[in-house]
Amino acid sequence: MAPSLPARQDTITLTGITAVGHHGVFEHERRDGQPFVVDVVLHLDLRPAGQSDDLTKTAHYGELAEQIVELITGEPLDLIESLAERIASSVLATFAVEAVEVTVHKPKAPIEVPFGDVAVSIYRERT
């Protein structure tokens, strides 16, 4: 008998959340700030919200966006990896989701050669 496949989770995706933060290892990054762009994917069961048309049975993506902007503009960190972890931890603590994917883009990173983007992506599950 073949093993059953795990249930696929529904998702809510919010992309392009942009704010100026003061993250980076260089003094001028912390002093001057720069734009950071965050994409987030929430993994959760959307059936209760879909069947009831009740906002309280889903993750409110307006509140999610505001929370992420607060984290981008909040306490400076050296690494975008740390910012991604902070965002993922906050989402898991605030919203009834099973897992979250977070991508942090740093399009103005201090790199001396032409480039399009620098991004870090993480996936974290509720433990």
Residues classed as catalytic: 106
- 105 CB-contact burial (10 Å; exposed 0-12 / middle 13-18 / buried 19+): buried
Residue 120 DSSP class = E
CA gap 23, 104 in Å, rounded: 12
* Residue 102, number of CB atoms within 10 A of its CB: 23
